[in-house]
Chain A
């Protein structure tokens, strides 16, 4: 049995006191321990931003790459190690702005990777500018007269892309979030978990209190069928007085790895190194 404490890291934490990221970190540790994964069996890939520091605060394999480039790096790491658990993490700017194109194509590709997006609707590390999910009219450093670009609905985008697992969590509800993350990791295919993550320093609108008054647990609604894509689309767009958390959409489909690996194949990185002879390949041109 693996304990959540097995994932503790000695690295100094650079998050603000009270940051929503702490809730995500704790939920992730609980989820991984619950899945009985050893730290060395997990690779985390992240981009840049406060959220993207999360792999350092865990004991796991980590590739902390570039802002926005989390998905491609995670895909490469997964293809070299398809028998390992690969989890990607980053913020809303990382995932939906700089990484928007990669996010869309990751869903098309459908590798067995879980993507945790810490969505605080603001740019934190650059000290308070608008993000793709910032609400209309919000005053930020770069929108002094209020944000005029309509916010993206990442969950609706994911449902539209037929993403194989689409969920929303709330950093203020660690227990539910850890269940969602565990389900996402267990799900075979690309899983998006958009996490409502209060930024206590720069987002004075979407606070813990603001979310607590609005979120409800969709997983407790027995009548809701996450396999129904049309209903999932409607649910994904629900935002305002009531905000659903839980599994919005779920769909089984072949993963990318199925197109290249047989079930018995070891990870590429652990296969014997036996390349073909160049002269033999060249003879085909004689």
Chain B
């Protein structure tokens, strides 16, 4: 019996790979399995070759494998690009009637998708349900009931004919796989949980949801993959929760709008990717100078310039750490999984208002576009802390926005308070917020803005540690790499090599790190990052006692996997 299986659904953009992978993932999730789905797509609307990768496991899973146990190839190009990634003993499901360019090899199963779809419902598009059925037949008919439920929900708005056609197509897909082969990858039974306790949600949705539940009231953004889906989540919820959302003319406008709204007294956010963030940088230093809270989401993709636009990388950490002219405090957070999204977002908004600084939430295409199984019992948020923002202020026209007597964080009054005015200024300024030429004030104000970092440090959370108490190898990682690195540490421990993972979601300022393992046992600290140079490792070496004896780096546009990391350690 199989405990962990990887299925690929591959075809041209627009053929419905994501709908097949969603149906399968949701069905197995409801049957009690852990699922994880990543989209490997090309930058085009139709054609090309895109692949949805679904991993189904009896244990928690937040990462991928390099190869497929089962590949569904919806067209010829899908076979050409991916057939070699099917493991020995695995299966390739294809339409032998339509995709006849090569001699079939061992493990190739022909399922006439289009023909069966036409027979089932008269519509070619139902081939997606035929393909879904063929996969189900290999993995375990136990899940058919859940799958029927998911299909019924999915097509509920399209009417009975479409539903029943797809259900027939599903059945014919199941029947199309010969009895000797069906059930070959039968998954080990798992405890069927109450499906209401688990959610299938992608990283963008988790971040958007986290922001909305943290009290987001203003969102401005310019579409850029892979951040656009956060904006679309917020847009869909804007009416219901009284959020103003505007598509800006460019990222410069987007961040200045959000800062204007932050000055105006509401929780505001903008999200983009590296290239868009490059345009926002002037605004970052405006937030730093005016001490205006703002949350900036950066969903990384491989650069430079337009880069490898639909793939993943953790290559913009340095840019985010150093963006903006002048010295001022900032906070950088990076969620590990979708379950982490609401917590990270609630912290981002709290820290932004508590310290009146820009806060960055750093994710990437792998995080944003992957669907995670989230155990709802694990979803946490930080209670709202608005940093003592004031609606009114006693006296008459005596409020000082940058009052130095109050310490580095001055009381923040919302404009519109009776008999008070609030001056915020991008020039060096007096306590009242007026332009100044005073060298003495300049020094005091720089100390105020940049010195906040020391006050933020105690608020930063420790990295997670999982693994052996006496690890010989400690893998160090950040953000979305968590799933892959954790799995790599598990593999090492299972093979008798004591290992652990030290994983950071609170990236900057760094907390004073306390090891929860026996440091003297460690032979090597190795960082694992989805970038060329090991940007986070550099940051740690500069600011902590950590020193790395090796760096496992990946920058081919694909996410880290446990196999890649273990291979890197051995190689």
A interface residue numbers (CB < 8 A to B): 11, 14, 38-41, 43, 45, 48, 53, 55-56, 59-66, 69, 71-81, 83-84, 101-102, 104-105, 109, 256, 260, 267-271, 273, 275-279, 281-283, 285-286
Contacts and interface: CB of A to CB of B under 8 A. Distances in A.
A40 B420 contact: yes
Contacts of A11: 432, 434-435
B200 A62 contact: no
Nearest to B255: A72
B421 interface: yes
A276 B376 contact: no
B283 interface: yes
A84 B415 contact: yes
Nearest to B294: A76
B249 A270 contact: no
Contact of A101 (B253, B255, B374): B253
B424 interface: yes
Given A56-B434, A76-B268, A273 B249 contact: no
Q: Which 5 pairs from chain A and chain B are nearest by CB?
A: A76-B260, A80-B264, A269-B265, A76-B261, A72-B256
Contacts of B423: 55-56, 61-62, 64
Contact of A73 (B198, B256, B427): B256
A286 to B, nearest CB: 5
B539 to A, nearest CB: 28
Contacts of A286: 195-199, 376
B258 interface: yes
B426 A64 contact: yes
A105 B415 contact: no
Nearest to A269: B265
A21 to B, nearest CB: 14
B interface, over-half SS: mixed
Contacts of A271: 242
Nearest to A39: B421
Nearest to A45: B260
B544 interface: no
Given A63-B260, A75-B246, A76-B258, A81 B435 contact: no
Contacts of A66: 256, 282-283, 286, 426
A63 B214 CA distance: 25
Given A105-B253, A275-B213, 19 more contacts: A38-B419, A40-B418, A62-B421, A62-B433, A64-B423, A64-B425, A66-B426, A77-B415, A267-B416, A269-B265, A269-B416, A270-B265, A273-B386, A275-B241, A282-B209, A282-B374, A283-B376, A285-B374, A286-B195
A73 B244 contact: no
Contacts of B242: 268, 271
A233 B83 CA distance: 64
B556 interface: no
A281 B209 contact: yes
A273 B384 contact: yes
The CB with the most chain A CB atoms within 10 A, among B196, B263, B433, is that of: B263
Contacts of A41: 416
Interface in B84-108: none
Contact of A282 (B195, B342, B417): B342
Contacts of B422: 61-62
Nearest to B345: A278
Contacts of B258: 76
Interface stretch (B215-223, B311-319, B467-475): B215-223
Nearest to A262: B242
Interface residues of B, number: 75
A270 B389 CA distance: 11
Interface string B488-514: 000000000000000000000000000
The CB with the most chain B CB atoms within 10 A, among A55, A64, A260, is that of: A64
Interface in B158-179: none
A56 B237 CA distance: 38
Contacts of A81: 264-265, 414-416
Contacts of B200: 285
B30 to A, nearest CB: 9
A14 B260 contact: no
B246 A109 contact: yes
A43 B415 contact: yes
Nearest to B195: A286
Given A39-B397, A80-B261, A62 B215 contact: no
A283 B196 contact: yes
A278 B379 contact: yes
Nearest to A75: B257
Nearest to B420: A40
B297 interface: no
Contact of B435 (A53, A77, A84, A281): A53
B250 interface: yes
Contacts of A83: 416
A48 B426 contact: yes
The CB with the most chain B CB atoms within 10 A, among A65, A72, A270, A276, is that of: A72
A84 B264 CA distance: 10
B425 A62 contact: yes
Interface string B258-283: 11111111101000000000000011
B424 A63 contact: yes
Nearest to A102: B253
A62 B424 contact: yes
A217 to B, nearest CB: 34
Given A65-B259, A65-B290, A269-B416, A277 B426 contact: no
B264 A77 contact: yes
12 contacts: A11-B432, A56-B423, A64-B426, A69-B283, A101-B249, A105-B248, A260-B244, A269-B416, A273-B384, A278-B381, A285-B199, A286-B199
Contacts of B309: none
Contacts of B427: 48, 64
The CB with the most chain B CB atoms within 10 A, among A63, A270, A276, A279, is that of: A63
B187 interface: no
B397 A268 contact: no
A151 B231 CA distance: 38
A286 B256 CA distance: 37
B510 to A, nearest CB: 27
B212 interface: yes
Contacts of A282: 199, 201, 209, 342, 374, 376, 379
A84 B416 contact: yes
B521 interface: no
A282 B375 CA distance: 10
The CB with the most chain B CB atoms within 10 A, among A14, A43, A282, is that of: A282
B212 A281 contact: yes
A78 to B, nearest CB: 8
The CB with the most chain B CB atoms within 10 A, among A73, A79, A277, is that of: A73
The CB with the most chain A CB atoms within 10 A, among B258, B260, B419, B424, is that of: B260
Given A101-B250, A286-B376, A268 B199 contact: no
Contacts of B154: none
